[in-house]
Structure formats: structure tokens, C-alpha cells
Structure 1
Amino acid sequence: MRPATTTAEPQPTRAVTPPRRPLLRALIVRLVGAREAGWLAPLLAPYRRPLAALFALSLVAAAAALVPPWLTKLVIDRGLMAGDRHALVGFVLLLFAVGLGALALGAANSLLHLRFSARLLADLRRAAVDRILAQSPRWQARQKTGELMSRLDGDAGEVQQFAFAALVSGGGSLFRLAGGTAMLFVLDPLLALLALALAPVELAFFARARPVTHDKARDVRTARGRLAATLAETVAGLGALRALGAGAVAAGEIERRQQGLVGALLAAQVWTEVTRAVPLMLTAILRGAVFLVGGFAVIDGRMPLGSLIAFTAYLGFLIGPMQSLIALWHGQARMRAALDRLDEVMSAAPEVSDPVRPLALPAGGGALALSGVGFGPVPGRPLFEGLEATVPAGAKVRLAGPSGIGKSSLLALLQRHMDPDAGTIRLDGIDLRRLALADLRRAVALVPQKGHVFSGTLADNLRLAAPEAGEADMLEVLRLVELDGRFAADGLAARLGEGGLELSGGERQRLCLARALLAPFRVLLLDESLSEVDAERTARIMAALDARFAGRTRLVVTHGEAGRYGGFDAEIDLARFAVREPPA
């Protein structure tokens, strides 16, 4: 059956402005890549001022840290060695004051860093959750819950930590490196050249080691994600595992994933020790050389003792910041492994999106018109096509057809979790693609067969559909689904376990139905929503709903005896539009 020809409605256009490349975005592109910067830069943009403040504080702290070694030189040369008590006391007091100031700067920097980096992490996770919520059921079916949790937790944290470290700590390290190097040349140019001989050796080593670090970090994160996915799936399927007596099989799979993670962690730690040992060894060699050459200069009278002590202190400003910058560069490889995994979520294009200029919902009672609609979970292989149906406002319609024919998929199209492969669907005369998703999903309420109950109170669960719902409204919908007696003891404050495990299957279904009834819907979609409720009670609930919501459109999917759902005004048999021989 060929789908009906439809005419696409003109989409509004908006002016295209040339993209700007501010300094922050250019830096992020340099650090993480252009595609990743597309979603990371907007998240960092609100933190420009805090980042600038932290950057300025890090420069002030770096400048203040350059002072104590020079004051130490003055304490030794002009106080101790010169025998000047007044100079000794003065320089010691000044040294104490500078140290106290550096301590205050460090505390302020740490507190501000924690405050804003924690906010950035929250924004990053919220953006990832928003992107996941925007995906279609087809996308969700390809994911593992534990793997997504691993990306939202560990990978997002790694990206957030590096973002602040690179943009804040890197600047301070550069300043300390430049200042420390300058002071080395002030104290002894020849000895400074000897100290600089370390830099190219360390750079060469880390350049060779960086790709290995990336691979080790990727292996650890992949193994951790697989373990998290297995644990989440096991916890979610505890009931099935008990019934099958398959606990040992599940435990064995968890152990295998755990051993895989342990192996990856050990390999990564061995490599970390190697990359830590090499610079420590090079630093020890350099310090020994400086003490030998400088010590001979002090013995020969060519260099004051205070200058040698100050030189060794400033040597730390060369070695420490240089190793910090190299470690930051090396850490970018670990961050890239986390970023690549998070990017798979953040760069996933949703199948549907809000129109640029959505239309307001027109007045109406939930009339539906389906014209030439075709859809299949696999592109090019439709389940049904050419679907033509008109549902008047306030009608009660049964959606019939054998299992797997696409009934649940059609209901998902009505809430626009996906768009049809062909044809159009209209609500009260407006193409669903022209409506804001939030408006559409409040107007079209869906109650699936396996609804989810969240941990928290009964009121918390009910208000998910209507945050503004009052106590009287919630008690009314509980009465409609005959749950008012079930929670008589604790009322709306009754606490529900995660997933509603303390409720029976039928009670969970009725609670999910009650929750949907609080929404200001025009169309109510019931997808086997009372399949676990006995026939007599189902008939009473449906009769109450038909009386209470007679003016609203109701589409009901049922495989069992249709009579227990009451009378229907019409029936849509999806089998009439099924594709009997889908193309290869």
C-alpha cells in the first residue's frame, strides 16, 4: 500500500550570522578539537569571569611565590653572613608576611576553584542528561544504563577537572616557569644554562609517552563502563535472575568484568609509575649537577652561599612548573579518552527537535488526523505504511493488531519521540512537527505497559506530571484508579521504593495511570496500561475514566479481551496497513 502524498509545510528561516571565535572558544578548540568545542564552549562561556578571576589569582600567587627564595638569599647574605641583626629580623618578618599572604591567596584560589568547578560539573551533567532525554526510543534501545552512568559520572568529572586545570593552573605554571627561569639567569647565567638542559629531554620522553597514556586511560574507562553496565543490568534484572536460578551466571559475568577492570587499572598504574620515575630521575641528576657545580663556585668564592641556596629554590620554579605543564599536556591525553566517550552522547543528534518557531496549540479537544503515515524501527524497512485515520475529539478508539505490528511505535509517534518515515500526523489541525515538544507532550499523555515508579514519596511521583497539582487533585486521581485505600495509612507522604518494588505489578500500572491523569492532556494513550490488573477492576477504572474524561480523546492498545475496557467509538486495525514483505 503506497503512502498518501503530502505537502511539506514551509519552515521559517532565520538569518545566518558569521560564527565568532572569541579567545575562550579558540583556546577550547585548541585543547579538545572543533567538534567537541561545539558543545563544551557554550558550557564554559558563563564561567568566563570566574575563570578570569582564578587566572588572575593564580598569576598573583605565582608572582608571590617568586619572592621567598630571594628573601632567603637576603636573610643569609645580608643578615647571617654579614652579621647584621636588624637586617636579619627585617628580612625574616618580611619573609613571614609574604608566606602568610601566599597562604591566604592559596586558600582563596582553592575555594573559588572548588565552587565554580563544581558548578561546571553540574552544568556538564545536566547538558548530558538533557541530550539523553532528547533521544528517541530507538537510540535508547542501543544503550546500556550502566555505561551511560559511567559517562555521566567519571567521564564528565575528568573533562571538568581538566577544563579548569588547563585554563587556570596552566597560566600560573607558565608564569612561575618564566619567572623562575629569569631569576636563575639573574643569579648565575652559566648555571642556568645547565639547568635548562633538562627541558628538551623531558619533552622528548613525554612526547613519546603521551599516546600510550591515552590508550591506557581509554582502556580503563571502557572497562569501568562495561562493569557499570553489567552491574546496572544485574540489579535491574534481580527478579528474573532469581526466577531462573541464574545468580551464579550473573556473578560470573560480574567477576569477568571486574577482572578486566583490574587488569586495565594495573596496566595504567604501571605506566603511571614509569612516567613518574623518569622525570624524578632526571630531576635528581640535575639537582646533583647543580649542587656540584654551584658548590665548587661557592668554595672558590665565585658565588655567595645565599645565591646557591636561592638558585636551588628557583630551580624548583623551573622543574615544578615544567613538570606541571608536561603533566597537564599528558593529562590531556587522559581527558581525551573521557571526552571521546562523553562526546558520543553530546554529539548524538536527536531524531526530533523543537521547530525554530513553534506554533501555539490551537483550541481543540484532541482531534487526530493521520495521513499516509509509514514507520519502521529500521530505516527502509517499515512496519506499516499508508496509514489513514481520523479520530474526532473526545472519541475512544481501540488500536488493534498483532504483537510487533507497530502499535507502541505509533503511540511514540503521537508524542513525537520519533517522526514518521512518511506522511503527517496532526493534532487539532496542526502538524505535530510545528508544535513545541513540551506543549505536545503535555497535550498527549502516554501510559506505557511498563511504567516506572521513582523512589520518593507518593506525592513526588504524582507531581512529575503536574508539579502544581494540589492535594485534592492527587487524591482524586488515586480514587479514579482505586488506589486511595492502598495508601490510606500514610497518604501522599507514603514512601515508595526504587522502581516501586513494594507495589504489585497492577498497583504500579495504576499509579502510573494516576500520574498521567494529572496532566492537562487532550489525548490519553493507554498502551496495555492495565494488563496486570484484574478484569473486574479494569472495567470499573475504565468506566470511571470514560465518565470523568468523556470530552478527551482516548486511544487504547489491548491484546486481551477488549470488552473489559468498555465500549469503543471506533477501531484502528494496524494490520490493514502492515508491510507484508518488507524490502531487503
Structure 2
Amino acid sequence: MSGPAAKLSSQPGGGAAARTWPRLPSRAGAALFTPATAGWLLPLLRPHRRRLAELLLISFAAAAIGLLPPYISKLVIDRGLMAGDAAQLVIWSLALFGIGLLATGTGALSNILHMRASVRMLARMRQRLLSRLAAKPAGWFASQRAGELLARVDGDAAEVQKFAFNAVLGGSSALIRLVGGSAMLMVLDWRLGLLTALLAPAELAFLIWARPRTERHAAAVREMQGRYSAGLSETLFGLPALQAARGTAWAERRSLRDHAGLSQRLIAQNLWGEFTRAVPVLLSALTRSAIFLAGGLMVIRGEWPLGSLIAFVAYMGFMTGPMQSLLGLWHAQARVKVAAARLDAVMQADRPARAAGFAPAGYDLRLAGVTVSRGAAPPLGPLTLTIPEGARVAVRGASGAGKTSLLAVLCGRARPVAGRVTLGGADLGLLGGAGLPERVAYAGQRPFTLRASLRDNLFQSRAFWAKPENEAQVRALLELFGLAERFRGAGGLDTMLGESGLTLSGGERQRLCLLRALLQPFDILILDEALSEVDPATAARILAHIDAVFPQATRILTAHGGAAADGDFDMEIDLTEGPA
């Protein structure tokens, strides 16, 4: 690649990124998930490492404190009740109450800190997902559905985040309780302790057998959840059009069909989950019954104090409960890996290298043997041409000729099938994230607005609105674009717009989006049928303003007729004449 001040890095993130985490957490993350998932998940955990360390310490303390009540209960029974010593009964009962209070307070503190850290990490994860989605090329979204992506950002992200926290905190706490409980069992009676230990390999063998089926159930549910969400989102977004086309009944049937499929898979997953939970419970019940039988006989024969039997059964819970928690985490990993794999498709980088900076001497666009994809239609090209900086260019062609596809390639939102597009000598394929969107302003025939105020729909910063001259500029443009009367009421710039701009006409939405584009700093302006629903007089006035105020910018226009198709152009690209 050549170009004036274009700098490339073959390894995004540099050497420092590789040293972000020590090898041990990286290997643990790769073992819990996959190397690909660990690559983007561990950096999200890093800002929370101090809070995680605090939570680990509190969890360790809570687990250690929790080991005391069963043994103190033994002392209450053996030294107080069975020995008939009222003083000992009072002392150890008060000790049991104090330990209970301490355990409750520690547990509450741990839960509060856990929730705060968990919520912050989930917000950070969703923010990173949205950032990665925003960096995807336009062509990537052509194969995606909005509802499916929403299911990933919402449901999959929450499941991965929850498991990541539970694996670190819940797993560590369970390990402490497991070790402590097992040790106390051996202290009380090593023979019965060994009998209880036989439960672990039995449960592990069962979960090894059950894990692949759990993963298959999770994959089926996630797939149907994405399908149902995508269909529902599509229906709600297009409801006015469906009503006009009398397609609401069809949309309802599709929604019911998708929901029935989702319900079927959820029920199957729930039944399987109940089965996988019931078997360990049954094994634990059998083990507990055996302990009660053997230990009870020892108590009857006078070989063992009653308090020791009660304490032993309590400590069984400290061993079997954490053991089931750890095995449950391992079993849940099968479900989480499905969610993580769905997020990997969003989080993975689309381009192996990006320009570290871009400061060109000019903004001439050059196409060298470029072939552009047009979906199911034959590709367009090859095209070889140069668009000089500051030129006024018309792109002509019938509907479906590839005008919009070509413009997407010219502004770096899509990549050509073959050939090379350069801006100021720098390859557009390597400029993503290097300030290219700041150089290009785009307004298309399908305007996009949000359910927010007019001010918010212009996407400007607080610093922009803090300057009176900027607000005056916006009001002048509203006047020029014929929108001032529309927003002259009490709301003014704070007038709320309906979802998808349903409170505006098609022409008003187009003019609003073009106004938004002109407020951005740019060197290239692309108007793709951006005034197709605007009356000729207003369109001509807007275009004359653009030519007068931005004569140095490259202006590329497409239109089938009207003011945008007329006038003087420095260059015309006719896509109906075949390859250039």
C-alpha cells in the first residue's frame, strides 16, 4: 500500500495487547470458553480485576465462616444438651447466633458488590458488542437479521457475563467450601467420609454422559430464540406496510409458528434440565440415607456422639453442595459455549490490518479493475476510473444497475469483489476505523431517524449545542430546507419524532437526514437518491446551497430525475454502458 502518511500495523493492538493478561488467566479463559472468546472476554474483565479480588476475599471469608455453624451445633448438643450443662448451652448458642449474624452480613455484602460489578461488566460487554457492530461493513448486515443480533446483544451477552462471574466467584467459593467440608468430614469420621466421597465420581460420570445433549438443547433454543426475535422485530418495524398490503395475517401466522417452535425447544430443554438436576439429587439422597443408617447404628451402639452425626450430615452439604455447584458450572459451560460462539461472530475483527493514521495530501478516488457485488445479480465491473478531488459527479443507471452498491464501495462501507479502491493513494480496505467516516458524509434514499428529539436526531455533541452560532446554523438550514415551519412550534429543536420517523413525511425525513449529513465535517459528500421524495424547487435550492458552501468537496450524486439529475457535472459515470 502506498499513500501519503498512511501507516499500517500488521498486528492490531500491538505487542502491549498480547501482554494484557498473564498467561494463567488467558489459559483459564481459553479452557472455559475458546481461545477466540477468551481473546475478547478477558480484556473486558480486566477493569474489574480489583473488584473481583475484593469479592474473592469476601467469598473466601464467607465460605470459611460458613464452615463453623455445624461444628458449633455439635458443641451445643454434646457439651450443652447431652451433658446437661446450661452454661455451655448458653455460651455455644450465643456463639452460633453471632456466627450466623456475621455470615449473613458477609453474604449480603458479597451479593451487593457482586451485583454492582456484574452490572458494570454487562454494560461494558454490550457497549463493546455495539462498537464492533458499528464497525462492521455494510455488506455484513445484508446476511443478518436485526432481531437475531438483538438476541445476541441481550440474551447471549447476559449468559456469557453471568457465567464468567459465576465461574470466578462461585467456583472459588465452592472450592473453599468443598475442601473445608471434606476436611471436617474426615475429622469427624474418616470411614464415613470416604463413603461420602464416592458420590463425586458417580455424579461426574453422569454429567460427562449428559453434557453433549445439554449443548445440543442449548444450541436449538438459541437458534429458535434468534429466529423468533428476528421475525417479531421485522413485523413490528414493518407493521404499517403490512397493514397496507394486508399482510398482517401472514405475519401473525409466522410469529405463531416460530413461537411454537421456540416453545417446543424450551420445553425439551427444561425437561432435560430437570432430569440432569434430579439424578445428582437422587445420588445425594441415597448417600445421605446410607450415612444416616451407618452413623445412626454407631450412635445407638455408643460409638459416636449424636452431635457428631448431626454435624457430619451438615458437613455433607458442604461437600455435596459445592461439588454439585462445580460440576454444574462445568455442565453449564456447554450452554454458555453456544452463546459465546454466537458472540464470536460479532466480536471477531473483519480485517487483519487497519491503518494507524490517515492524513492524505488529497482526496482523489481511484478505482483499478474494481468489481462490485450486486447480491443475486451478476457483479458490476470491472471499473477503472479516477474521480478528482472536488469534482461534481453524477452516477447514472437504471434501477438495479449497481449505483448504490458502487457508492458503498466508494465510501468504504463495502469491499469490492476484486480490484482496488484508493483514497489519496491509500487503500480503502485498510482505512476502516482510521477516520474515514469523518471524511465522508452520506445521505441515502432510505432516511434513518430515531424516536428522539429533533436535536438528538442530528447526532451532535453537547459541545456543539453549547455554541449559540451552531444552533443558529441549524435553524438557518431548517429554513433553507423548508423544515422551519414544521418545527417552529413550542417544541422547536426539542420536538419529539416518532419511531422510524412515522410522524414525518418521506420528504421531511430525507431533508432531515441530508441536513444531518451537512453538519458533519467531510471532504466527500455522497447523495444516493437523497432527494427523491422532495419537491423539485426545494431540491434545487438545497443542491445550489451545497455547491456554493462546499465547492472544494467531492460531490457524488445519483438520481433518476429531478434537480439532482440535472445541472452541470464535472464527470458522469454511466453504469448502463457496460464495463469501463
Relative to the length of structure 2, the TM-score reads 0.92
Contact 1:375 1:384 in 2 (8 A): yes
1:7-406 correspondence runs (5 A):
12=8, 17=15, 19=18, 21-347=22-348, 349-351=349-351, 354-355=354-355, 357-362=356-361, 367-377=363-373, 382-393=379-390, 395-406=391-402
**Aligned CA distance change for structure 1 residues 516 and 352 (closer, same or farther; 3 Å):** farther
**Aligned CA distance change for structure 1 residues 215 and 563 (closer, same or farther; 3 Å):** closer
Shift of 1:13: 5.2
Contact 1:217 1:268 in 2 (8 A): yes
User: Which of 405, 410, 426 does residue 406 from structure 2 map onto?
Assistant: 410
**Aligned CA distance change for structure 1 residues 152 and 427 (closer, same or farther; 3 Å):** same
CA distance in 2 between partners of 1:263 and 1:277 (Å): 21
CA distance in 1 between partners of 2:369 and 2:399 (Å): 19
1:529 maps to a residue whose letter is: A
1:534 maps to a residue whose letter is: D
Across the aligned residues of Structure 1 and Structure 2, the Cα RMSD in angstroms comes to 2.5
Shift of 1:477: 2.3
CA distance in 2 between partners of 1:422 and 1:345 (Å): 25
**Aligned CA distance change for structure 1 residues 14 and 411 (closer, same or farther; 3 Å):** closer
2:474 maps to a residue whose letter is: M
**Aligned CA distance change for structure 1 residues 79 and 287 (closer, same or farther; 3 Å):** same
Q: Which segment is superposed worse, 103-112 or 566-575?
A: 566-575
Shift of 1:527: 0.5
Q: Deviations over 1:257-283 (max 9, x none)?
A: 000011001101111111122122222
Q: How many pairs align?
A: 568
Q: Deviations over 1:175-234 (max 9, x none)?
A: 111110110111111121222222221111111111111111111111111100110111
2:482 maps to a residue whose letter is: E
1:473 maps to a residue whose letter is: Q
Q: Deviations over 1:92-150 (max 9, x none)?
A: 12111111111111111111111111111112112221221111121110001100100
1:368 maps to a residue whose letter is: D
Provide the residue aligned with 1:3 in structure 2.
none
Secondary structure of 1:377 counterpart: strand
Secondary structure of 1:404 counterpart: coil
Q: Which segment is superposed worse, 280-289 or 451-460?
A: 280-289
Shift of 1:163: 0.3
Shift of 1:413: 2.4
CA distance in 1 between partners of 2:246 and 2:23 (Å): 60
**Aligned CA distance change for structure 1 residues 186 and 283 (closer, same or farther; 3 Å):** same
CA distance in 1 between partners of 2:340 and 2:389 (Å): 49
Shift of 1:417: 1.6
Contact 1:353 1:437 in 2 (8 A): no
CA distance in 2 between partners of 1:465 and 1:525 (Å): 23
Q: Deviations over 1:224-256 (max 9, x none)?
A: 111001101111221221122111111101000
Shift of 1:384: 1.8
CA distance in 1 between partners of 2:275 and 2:439 (Å): 61
1:256 maps to a residue whose letter is: R
Shift of 1:386: 3.2
Shift of 1:78: 1.2
Contact 2:372 2:409 in 1 (8 A): no
Shift of 1:398: 1.5
CA distance in 2 between partners of 1:373 and 1:481 (Å): 39
**Aligned CA distance change for structure 1 residues 424 and 285 (closer, same or farther; 3 Å):** closer
Contact 1:372 1:388 in 2 (8 A): yes
Provide the residue aligned with 1:441 in structure 2.
437
Contact 2:10 2:353 in 1 (8 A): no
Contact 1:465 1:515 in 2 (8 A): no
What are the ranges of 5 or more consecutive residues in structure 2 without an aligned counterpart?
Answer: none
Provide the residue aligned with 2:482 in structure 1.
482
CA distance in 2 between partners of 1:189 and 1:174 (Å): 20
Contact 1:527 1:558 in 2 (8 A): yes
Q: Which segment is superposed worse, 61-70 or 237-246?
A: 237-246
Relative to the length of structure 1, the TM-score reads 0.91
1:248 maps to a residue whose letter is: A
CA distance in 2 between partners of 1:406 and 1:251 (Å): 35
Contact 1:24 1:45 in 2 (8 A): no
Secondary structure of 1:383 counterpart: strand
CA distance in 1 between partners of 2:8 and 2:252 (Å): 55
Shift of 1:159: 0.3
Shift of 1:471: 1.8
CA distance in 1 between partners of 2:295 and 2:306 (Å): 9
CA distance in 2 between partners of 1:66 and 1:54 (Å): 18
CA distance in 1 between partners of 2:371 and 2:123 (Å): 37
**Aligned CA distance change for structure 1 residues 219 and 564 (closer, same or farther; 3 Å):** closer
Provide the residue aligned with 1:582 in structure 2.
none
1:53 maps to a residue whose letter is: E
Contact 1:43 1:120 in 2 (8 A): yes
Secondary structure of 2:354 counterpart: coil
Contact 2:543 2:564 in 1 (8 A): no
Shift of 1:578: 2.8
**Aligned CA distance change for structure 1 residues 52 and 439 (closer, same or farther; 3 Å):** same
Secondary structure of 2:393 counterpart: strand
Provide the residue aligned with 1:463 in structure 2.
459
Percent identity, aligned pairs only, is 46
Q: Which segment is superposed worse, 55-64 or 458-467?
A: 458-467
**Aligned CA distance change for structure 1 residues 527 and 17 (closer, same or farther; 3 Å):** closer
Shift of 1:299: 1.2
**Aligned CA distance change for structure 1 residues 305 and 431 (closer, same or farther; 3 Å):** closer
Provide the residue aligned with 1:496 in structure 2.
497
CA distance in 1 between partners of 2:64 and 2:509 (Å): 63
CA distance in 1 between partners of 2:158 and 2:183 (Å): 36
CA distance in 2 between partners of 1:563 and 1:193 (Å): 86
Shift of 1:361: 4.9
Q: Which segment is superposed worse, 129-138 or 165-174?
A: 129-138
CA distance in 2 between partners of 1:31 and 1:57 (Å): 23
Q: Deviations over 1:390-419 (max 9, x none)?
A: 3342x3222222223332223222321234
CA distance in 2 between partners of 1:285 and 1:426 (Å): 73
Shift of 1:532: 1.0
CA distance in 2 between partners of 1:378 and 1:202 (Å): 55
Shift of 1:562: 5.0
Q: Which segment is superposed worse, 558-567 or 398-407?
A: 558-567
CA distance in 1 between partners of 2:2 and 2:25 (Å): 44
